[in-house]
């Protein structure tokens, strides 16, 4: 079986302690990776600091960093087929969804590449005889802890911004999904000064925890679960290291009776079945105006019946979930749904012919749950939609805001007053009116209210995560010269 080595100090490190990575579509082993040792992580951090302080990296001009990232975007596009295949093998997602992720990754490198020489400071008038400037410097060694649901996209969005701003980057890919990160690091490592890009692999509780508590790092970007986000933040707190956390959600799609039905049906369905529901911004709750519920839900069930499920390579509408653990977590919740609610469609794991050992689950709609039920408030990370009704705009807002999360929300209505009012009252980092996701949104700030996280990724604003702000005040005086 192929082994995916780590990249430390420009070299490819095999390591002793091996972890097997599985293909979610087949349940079969795919490759192995290394569970990095603490000594290897210490090496990576020390080398990153040396590379960051070194003349070679300092002498690369911002526009040159940008050009390199734009070239990487071109490389990704030229090899889109290859990248999509790797991502689909690793995560299980249908090829066409993997293709969309690969294109988004290219867009991130292109976007931040273009912005690399536009990170500008300020001058502030103080008084005659003082010149005051605010400069933005790279922050230092940045750590990127990447989850398994959108490996290439989530890695690219933060790594691109960090390199564009001149940092030394250490990526830790998720133990389930190393493949596309490895390929991108390979390309960057061949072109950047040694140690500016490094890739360490291994279990979160070992490698991730040690890396986030390391006194030699200067910033952490983490995407994943709330408990792990708390652990990362606590570890970073010991060293006063800033964190950018994107911790998922329980995002609502709020559908009013005057919605464009076709758009709303399609939007609500896609928002929960994309990547088999394993999306931070999945539209996991349908909040529907009571008078419209029966008609809308009946039509939604019809659509769910048409969803074709299969292996990534079969390229259907929905693939498997990530692994046996995820399937078990989802199955347990589905049993709760059968017990406490009314399952309108789905509700069980699924056998896919010729892929009997893959981790498949039926797309599911559950009605009749209490708003405090675990399925109504916890992030499930599976293709499970829970339904709740409202009668007034106030009720809709209250329901939309009724979880600890606040990442994204969709609102479907033709009433411009309702749309604006909802947008202003929903506590979420992104609100979409009559769409959900707006084509990926590379340029839009993305992040959470409440437990959905701290800080923003994507967009120009994310470059601030990777810069230090310095104020320089210069007194000038020509008297007595």
176 binds Mg ion (CB under 5 A): yes
User: Token digits for 357?
Assistant: 């050992």
175 binds Mg ion (CB under 5 A): no
111 binds ligand NAI (CB under 6 A): no
Minimum CB separation of residue 387 from ligand NAI in Å reads 20
Per CB under 6 A, which of residues 118..147 are in contact with ligand NAI?
145-147
Binding ligand NAI by CB under 6 A: which of 52, 108, 381, 466? Answer: 381
Q: How far apart are CA 329 and CA 22, in angstroms?
A: 18
198 binds ligand NAI (CB under 6 A): no
User: Token digits for 339?
Assistant: 């017990």
Nearer to ligand NAI, 113 or 248 (CB): 248
Residue 115 buriedness (CB in 10 A; 0-12 / 13-18 / 19+):
buried
Please give the torsion angle defined by the CA atoms of residues 199, 201, 206 and 209, in that order, rounded to the nearest 10 degrees.
40
217 binds ligand NAI (CB under 6 A): no
Nearer to Mg ion, 311 or 442 (CB): 311
Task: Build a one-symbol-per-residue string for 273-312: x at contacts with ligand NAI by CB under 6 A, - elsewhere.
Answer: -------x--------------------------------
Nearer to ligand NAI, 170 or 247 (CB): 247
328 binds ligand NAI (CB under 6 A): no
Residue 227 has phi, psi (to 5 degrees) of -60, -40
Residues present in the chain in total: 481
Minimum CB separation of residue 409 from Mg ion in Å reads 31
232 binds ligand NAI (CB under 6 A): yes
379 binds ligand NAI (CB under 6 A): yes
171 binds ligand NAI (CB under 6 A): no
Q: Which member of 87, 103, 183, 280 is catalytic?
A: 280
User: Token digits for 231?
Assistant: 């652990």
Nearer to Mg ion, 13 or 21 (CB): 21
153 binds ligand NAI (CB under 6 A): no
Minimum CB separation of residue 176 from ligand NAI in Å reads 7
Residues 98 and 436: beta-carbon distance below 8 Å: no
Region binding Mg ion by CB under 5 A among candidate stretches 86-94, 127-135, 267-275, 411-419: 86-94
> Tokens 């805001």 map to which residue?
401
447 binds ligand NAI (CB under 6 A): no
Residues 342 and 251: beta-carbon distance below 8 Å: no
Binding ligand NAI by CB under 6 A: which of 94, 248, 310, 448? Answer: 248
Minimum CB separation of residue 346 from ligand NAI in Å reads 18
Q: Which does 228 bind (CB under 5 to 8 A by kind): ligand NAI, Mg ion, none?
A: ligand NAI
428 binds ligand NAI (CB under 6 A): no
Q: In what order do the strands lie in the sheet with 219-223?
A: 11-13, 6-8, 197-200, 168-172, 141-145, 219-223, 243-246, 453-454
CA angle, 271 then 273 then 278, to 5°: 90
Q: Which does 280 bind (CB under 5 to 8 A by kind): Mg ion, ligand NAI, none?
A: ligand NAI
Residues 26 and 311: beta-carbon distance below 8 Å: yes
Residues 250 and 405: beta-carbon distance below 8 Å: yes
Residues 39 and 53: beta-carbon distance below 8 Å: no
CA angle, 376 then 374 then 321, to 5°: 85
From residue 356, alpha-carbon distances to 24, 310, 414 in Å are 11, 10, 45
Minimum CB separation of residue 332 from ligand NAI in Å reads 12
162 binds ligand NAI (CB under 6 A): no
Known active-site residue 297: no
Nearer to ligand NAI, 280 or 393 (CB): 280
344 binds ligand NAI (CB under 6 A): no
Nearer to ligand NAI, 326 or 413 (CB): 326
**Close Cβ partners of 332 (under 8 Å, ≥ 6 residues apart):** none
225 binds ligand NAI (CB under 6 A): yes
Q: Which member of 103, 110, 246, 457 is catalytic?
A: 246
Known active-site residue 246: yes
Nearer to Mg ion, 245 or 321 (CB): 321
Binding ligand NAI by CB under 6 A: which of 88, 201, 219, 223? Answer: 223
Per CB under 5 A, which of residues 115..174 are in contact with Mg ion?
none
* Site for ligand NAI, rule CB under 6 A: 145-149, 172, 174-175, 204-205, 208-209, 212, 223-225, 228, 231-232, 246-248, 280, 326, 379, 381
> Active-site positions?
246, 280
Residues that bind Mg ion (CB under 5 A): 21, 90, 176
């Amino acid at each position: 079986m192929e082994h995916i080595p780590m990249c430390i100090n420009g070299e490819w490190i095999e390591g002793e302690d091996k972890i097997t990575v599985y293909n979610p579509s087949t349940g079969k082993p795919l490759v192995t990776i290394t569970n990095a040792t603490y000594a290897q992580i210490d090496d990576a951090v020390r080398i990153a600091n040396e590379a960051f302080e070194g003349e070679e990296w300092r002498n690369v001009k911002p526009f040159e960093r940008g050009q390199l990232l734009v070239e990487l975007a071109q490389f990704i596009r030229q090899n889109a087929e290859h990248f999509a295949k790797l991502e689909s093998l690793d995560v299980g997602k249908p090829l066409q969804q993997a293709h969309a992720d690969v294109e988004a990754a290219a867009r991130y490198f292109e976007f931040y590449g273009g912005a690399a020489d536009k990170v500008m400071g300020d001058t502030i008038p103080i008084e005659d005889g003082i010149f005051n400037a605010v400069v933005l410097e790279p922050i230092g060694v940045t750590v990127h802890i990447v989850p398994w649901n959108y490996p290439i996209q989530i890695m690219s969005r933060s790594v691109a911004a960090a390199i564009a701003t001149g940092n030394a980057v250490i990526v830790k890919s998720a133990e389930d999904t190393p493949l596309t990160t490895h390929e991108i690091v390979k390309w960057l490592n061949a072109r950047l000064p040694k140690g500016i890009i490094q890739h360490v692999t291994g279990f979160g509780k070992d490698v991730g925890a040690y890396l986030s508590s390391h006194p030699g790092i200067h910033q952490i970007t983490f995407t994943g679960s709330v408990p792990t986000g708390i652990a990362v933040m606590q570890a970073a707190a010991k060293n006063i290291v800033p964190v950018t956390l994107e911790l998922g959600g329980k995002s609502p799609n709020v559908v009013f009776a005057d919605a464009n039905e076709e758009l709303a049906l399609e939007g609500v369905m896609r928002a929960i079945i994309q990547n088999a529901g394993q999306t931070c911004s999945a539209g996991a709750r349908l909040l529907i105006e009571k008078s419209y519920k029966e008609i809308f839900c009946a039509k939604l069930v019809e659509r769910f019946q048409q969803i074709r499920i299969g292996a990534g390579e079969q390229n259907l509408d929905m693939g498997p979930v990530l692994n046996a653990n995820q399937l078990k977590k989802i199955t347990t919740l589905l049993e709760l749904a059968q017990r406490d609610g009314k399952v309108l469609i789905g509700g069980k794991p699924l056998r896919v012919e010729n892929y009997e050992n893959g981790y498949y689950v039926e797309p599911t709609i559950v009605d009749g749950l209490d708003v405090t039920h675990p399925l109504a408030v916890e992030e499930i990370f599976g293709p499970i939609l829970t339904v709740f009704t409202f009668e007034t705009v106030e009720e809709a807002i209250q329901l939309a805001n009724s979880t600890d999360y606040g990442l994204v929300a969709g609102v479907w209505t033709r009433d411009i007053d309702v749309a604006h009012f909802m947008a202003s009252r929903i506590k979420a980092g992104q609100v979409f009116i009559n769409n959900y996701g707006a084509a990926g949104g590379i340029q839009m700030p993305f992040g959470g209210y409440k437990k959905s996280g701290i800080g923003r990724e994507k967009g120009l604003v994310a470059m601030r995560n990777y810069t230090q702000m310095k104020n320089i005040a210069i007194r000038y005086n020509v008297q007595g010269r």
